[in-house]
Amino acid sequence: MQLLPKIHLGIHKLGLVGLYLTGLAACATAPVSLMDSQPDTTLARGESAQMHFFTNISDFDTGVQLSGGSRYGLRIQLLSNWIDGSIAENESGLDIDERGFANSQMAWPWLRHFRRSSNHQWFELMLYQPRCAGESLAGISDLEFDESSSSYYFVANCDGKLALFVNDSYVTYANNAGYANIALSRVD
């Protein structure tokens, strides 16, 4: 008979742990993009769109349709520190930004095999168009950077939406922190 109260107490504790973990998961839930409630935007030459990008969203829909062959500019303003789990600095000891960080910052080097793009840094800002995902996938390091305007430039591979993500493992977006204001403009 004494075993029954211990089991009941154990189940009660498990229930509390479950509630606690559910609460933690709720805190890590990705914020809803303000762009989701609006129809997709197609930018004309010289037009731009502003969006808040969150690093814990694995496929951020910008809500902007790109025109294949057109040139676009991205201007990124970090609004909070970008943190991947417990990693808040790159290999140079600087705060993580859109360029991400080297695999040497990871506790276990073999984790590099779990990045979504093995050709890019951890937490590097990545761009792609779902309609032509293979040929459009690019890291911010692949883009032309203009210091005078603090903008990155690229040419759209096809007609279709632009999506963004930080280069991380699919299963670890919940431990990401940070967001940025991104201005996307059509140059030509």
149-182 pLDDT, tens digit per residue, is: 999 999 999 999 999 999 999 999 999 999 999 9
In angstroms, the CA 84 to CA 124 distance is 11
In angstroms, the CA 73 to CA 150 distance is 10
Let me know: does 163 contact 128? Beta carbons within 8 Å: yes
Q: What is the share, in percent, of the chain residues with pLDDT greater than 70?
A: 79
Long-range contacts (CB closer than 8 Å, 24 or more residues apart) made by 77-82: 77/180, 77/181, 77/182, 77/183, 78/178, 78/180, 79/52, 79/179, 79/180, 79/181, 80/177, 80/178, 80/179, 81/177, 81/178, 82/55, 82/123, 82/166, 82/176, 82/177, 82/178, 82/180
User: Which residue in 83, 80, 81, 101 sits closest to 92, CA to CA?
Assistant: 101
Q: Give the distance from CA 59 to its chain's centroid.
A: 7
Per the structure block, which two tokens stand in for 29? 């839930």
- Per residue of the chain (188 residues), what is the pLDDT tens digit? 444 444 333 433 333 333 333 333 333 333 333 334 457 899 999 999 999 999 999 999 999 999 999 999 999 999 999 999 999 999 999 999 999 999 999 988 888 899 999 999 999 999 999 999 999 999 999 999 999 999 999 999 999 999 999 999 999 999 999 999 999 999 99
